[in-house]
Structure 1
Amino acid sequence: MAQTPSPFSFRNYRFYWFTRLATTLAQNAMVVVIGWQVYDIARRTMAPREAAFHLGMIGVAQFLPLAALTLITGWTADRVDRRWIGRIVLLAEGACAAWLALLAFHDTTTIPAIYLVAIVLGVCRAFANPAIGALAPNLVPPAVLPTAIAASSVAWQGGAIVGPAMGGYLYAHSHWLPYTISAALFLLASGSLMFIRPTPKTALDRKANPWRQMVEGLAYIRRNRLVLGAISLDLFAVLLGGATAMLPIYARDILHVGSEGLGHLRAAPALGSAATALWFAFRPLRHNVGLKMLVAVALFGASTVAFGLSRWLPLSLACLAVLGACDMLSVYVRQSLIQIWTPNEMRGRVGAVSTLFISGSNELGEAESGFLAALIGAVPAVVIGGLGAIGVTILWARIFPELVRARTFDPPKTLEDIPGEEMAK
């Protein structure tokens, strides 16, 4: 049997991989500093539960633009050159980072200013995620795609490991420095996309009704129960198990480790994720992919509960690392199913819906955790969320038996083979 080539043997993929790494470094450095600044500024005049409410509102500010623009951004990614969408949007994210750097340099950062940036970043990511995500299948042959997804996840998680620590340490040195470095990384990421050669154009009918084309992505996911089950499982499990949103509270008021310790806490889930992604880059998952995803999500919930109860930093870091590893396995299975099963002309629209679900689980998960913490405290909020994630996994195994039966990533040979697809006889 011929050995599958490495995705890095393809020129376009190498530039894509660097774009993913630089973008994730910049985004995660900003996320950790934004979270710390919001909570720290709020705590100067508010009690912990009131300050936790503002952490939740940051998640809402990033999610609302994405929810409003999902159909438009997916359609745009299938109509416009995806490389140019990524180039422009990454420059806009760099401008946001530069503005926050300027505010921090003059010590004029306010919570409303951070809210405004969060909204603009939400708009940028609404356009960037489906466009850049839909590029990957056009850069390597189908047989190489699962390995390429795993390698891309290594860049993503590598940036998620280094980015938070980088942001925390740079912020401890100078408050404006992490934003400045992030702005430079966004510029490099946009420049890297300039070197990706033209990819195959989609077969989207330019004369068809745009609104009808926009909703086709929703219709495809609704009919494909395997993809619907995988996406919605992630949405509800991570929505409930949003422990990472509480990390500023744990760092400041529970574990008492400060902004530098917050960087370690933010990096721990990414460390577990990166190790898992690196394993899959060399040993791709091939059998019982659906069942393994369900088990991973249940373990994700259990790790969340353990973290919520921990008062010892090493144990907390270990729980977060396991949590990240389980989340990575779920991401790997879900993204492989979506990218392999979805036709190229629909990848932007399906990717946009997937991004909405993912962002819903992340940003709304942060909001849910923040609001719940404001009501009952951070620790009960995290524990209840982890238990909820376990419950969702059990429920989804019953509602979507297609997940349990999913053995491999092999796409259907015909439309009739799609799980849940009802064809006119």
Structure 2
Amino acid sequence: MQFQRLSLTPLNHKEFRLFLFTRVFYTMALRMVVTVIGYELFQITRDSFSIGLAGLSEFIPVFSLALYAGHVIDRSDKRSLYLKSIISYALCIAALIVLTTPAIQHQLTAKTAALLFYVVIFFSGIIRAFAGPTSNAIIAQLVPRDSLRFAASLSSTSYLTASILGHASAGFLIAGIGVNKTFYVIFFLVAMAALVVSRIGRKPVVHNNLTAKAWESVKEGLSFVFKSKILLGAISLDLFAVLFGGATALIPEFADRILQVGPVGFGWLNAAMDIGSAITIVTITFFPLLRRQGYKLLFAVAFFGICIITFGFSKIYLVSFGALLLAGMVDGVSVVVRSTVLQLTTPDEMRGRVSAVNSMFINSSNELGQFESGFTYRLLGGAVPAVVFGGCMTLVVAVITWFKAPTLRKFEY
């Protein structure tokens, strides 16, 4: 079967299709872990600050290792490195299975159990420092360059589809079979991801200077990003929007104490933003943004902040779900623009390092955003003021960027 529509032509390449299946299985597992751990930590500690500490536990290794990971990725066979990362993540899931076994839990205090969760999360952060940038960098070796723009959009679509399935199914599984057995399901998904990616052939190393020292290689990647005003602007804007707009970290408290819904309602709230993003990205896949992408990006970030403020004030489940859904829809615009800029502006020999810088800015900001939400929750005395503060700061960031980054505002591709 050959796909004739231009936006779907990357699907004509078998290895790219295998990559998408891997991305779905692995991402679904990642999102399920985030949902289940957030739920379990809140049940153990009854304190949203513990979820913030979980984010910090993952942020530290992701941020600290990101630049070195980029150096390693560019000097490695990306397929083999991706496979090793997934297998290593399976070991973390095995540890969570043991940790949540009823016989083990009965012997642990709440503080000890939470601490052990943080340790496992820390090691998973080390793995993600390598896995995330590798999954972005390998795309250029799976499709021709003239299909990269569409491959990036399809990759984002698969990621968000898996995120929706992961968040929502985690809530159903927690309600139906419990936390421990849910981790068995997650382990199966990670094993499937490893099996599928093993069918992709090894990829040649395209680094143009294999003798370069690590720090020289890292500086080269950083220098490229900081000299590219469009790429740096898009990454920076997304960083602060994710950092301050991290309302999802406090969803367990909103679901339990404010909206008073069970695990299923919690799962759907967790999935709402991803559902919205998927709707946008699927739409853009068939009807691409053709002009004034910079303007649309800035308006999207501003509206994202408004949606987060609405969620913070809402005490009605459907309003809260709708606010997060709309936030996800406008966030989808940011995802598409940033991923397209990343793929189109990065030389092949630097994809690992540039993807790592992107990961350091964006992926680690998710975890840091969790900590920011937990910290402001403690500082401001509750989940509502913490979320409203984050939404207001996101609006401020969009306004400042509008005036201070005219090249990004006027950007088109």
TM-score normalized by structure 2? 0.94
Matches within 5 A, 1:131-142: 131-142=134-145
Give me the whole-angstrom Cα distance separating, in 2, the residues matched to 1:164 and 1:171: 11
Matched, 1:384 2:389: yes
Matched, 1:395 2:400: yes
Listed one character per residue, the Cα deviations across residues 83-133 of structure 1 (whole Å, up to 9, x for unaligned) are 111101111111111221222233534101110111011001001011111
Contact 1:274 1:325 in 2 (8 A): yes
Matched, 1:240 2:240: no
In the other structure, the counterpart of 1:369 is 373
Which AA in structure 2 matches 1:84? S
Give me the whole-angstrom Cα distance separating, in 2, the residues matched to 1:230 and 1:193: 30
- Which of 93, 96, 114 is matched with 1:100 structurally? 96
Matched, 1:152 2:165: no
State the 1:2 CA deviation: 9.4
Matches within 5 A, 1:152-191: 152-172=155-175, 173-191=177-195
Matches within 5 A, 1:311-326: 311-326=315-330
Matched, 1:32 2:35: yes
Give me the whole-angstrom Cα distance separating, in 2, the residues matched to 1:403 and 1:200: 34
Give me the whole-angstrom Cα distance separating, in 1, the residues matched to 2:162 and 2:68: 29
Matched, 1:12 2:50: no
Give me the whole-angstrom Cα distance separating, in 1, the residues matched to 2:235 and 2:86: 25
SS of 1:6's equivalent in the other structure is helix
Give me the whole-angstrom Cα distance separating, in 1, the residues matched to 2:69 and 2:188: 25
In the other structure, the counterpart of 1:47 is none
Contact 1:24 1:160 in 2 (8 A): yes
Structure 1 residue ranges (4+ consecutive) displaced by more than 4 angstroms after TM superposition = 1-5
Give me the whole-angstrom Cα distance separating, in 1, the residues matched to 2:178 and 2:367: 27
State the 1:200 CA deviation: 4.6
SS of 2:104's equivalent in the other structure is coil
State the 1:4 CA deviation: 5.9
State the 1:204 CA deviation: 2.5
Superposed CA RMSD in Å reads: 1.5
State the 1:176 CA deviation: 1.1
Matches within 5 A, 1:276-295: 276-295=280-299
From the superposition, tell whether residues 107 and 247 of structure 1 become closer, same or farther in structure 2 (CA, over 3 Å).
Answer: farther
State the 1:258 CA deviation: 2.2
Listed one character per residue, the Cα deviations across residues 119-161 of structure 1 (whole Å, up to 9, x for unaligned) are 0110010010111110112211222222222211221111111
From the superposition, tell whether residues 163 and 4 of structure 1 become closer, same or farther in structure 2 (CA, over 3 Å).
Answer: closer
Contact 1:234 1:361 in 2 (8 A): no
SS of 1:175's equivalent in the other structure is helix
In the other structure, the counterpart of 2:301 is 297
Give me the whole-angstrom Cα distance separating, in 2, the residues matched to 1:293 and 1:116: 37
Listed one character per residue, the Cα deviations across residues 356-376 of structure 1 (whole Å, up to 9, x for unaligned) are 111232111110011111122
Contact 1:237 1:361 in 2 (8 A): no
In the other structure, the counterpart of 2:124 is 121
SS of 1:174's equivalent in the other structure is helix
Listed one character per residue, the Cα deviations across residues 149-194 of structure 1 (whole Å, up to 9, x for unaligned) are 2211221111111111211221222221221111111111112111
Give me the whole-angstrom Cα distance separating, in 2, the residues matched to 1:395 and 1:149: 28
Structure 2 segments unaligned to the other structure (5+ residues): 106-112
In the other structure, the counterpart of 2:59 is 63
Which AA in structure 2 matches 1:188? M
Structure 1 segments unaligned to the other structure (5+ residues): 44-50, 409-425
Which AA in structure 2 matches 1:392? V
From the superposition, tell whether residues 216 and 107 of structure 1 become closer, same or farther in structure 2 (CA, over 3 Å).
Answer: farther
Contact 1:214 1:349 in 2 (8 A): yes
Give me the whole-angstrom Cα distance separating, in 1, the residues matched to 2:158 and 2:9: 15
State the 1:286 CA deviation: 2.2
From the superposition, tell whether residues 257 and 211 of structure 1 become closer, same or farther in structure 2 (CA, over 3 Å).
Answer: same
Give me the whole-angstrom Cα distance separating, in 1, the residues matched to 2:120 and 2:202: 32
State the 1:256 CA deviation: 0.7
State the 1:198 CA deviation: 3.5
State the 1:5 CA deviation: 5.5
Contact 2:273 2:328 in 1 (8 A): yes
Contact 2:207 2:350 in 1 (8 A): no
What number of residue pairs does the alignment pair up? Answer: 401
SS of 2:351's equivalent in the other structure is helix
In the other structure, the counterpart of 2:109 is none
From the superposition, tell whether residues 331 and 259 of structure 1 become closer, same or farther in structure 2 (CA, over 3 Å).
Answer: same
In the other structure, the counterpart of 2:273 is 269
From the superposition, tell whether residues 107 and 285 of structure 1 become closer, same or farther in structure 2 (CA, over 3 Å).
Answer: farther
Listed one character per residue, the Cα deviations across residues 376-422 of structure 1 (whole Å, up to 9, x for unaligned) are 211011111101101101101222111111111xxxxxxxxxxxxxx
State the 1:54 CA deviation: 1.1
Give me the whole-angstrom Cα distance separating, in 1, the residues matched to 2:291 and 2:90: 41
In the other structure, the counterpart of 1:195 is 199
State the 1:195 CA deviation: 1.4
Give me the whole-angstrom Cα distance separating, in 1, the residues matched to 2:257 and 2:366: 23
Which AA in structure 1 matches 2:396? G
From the superposition, tell whether residues 117 and 2 of structure 1 become closer, same or farther in structure 2 (CA, over 3 Å).
Answer: closer
- Which of 396, 404, 410 is matched with 1:405 structurally? 410
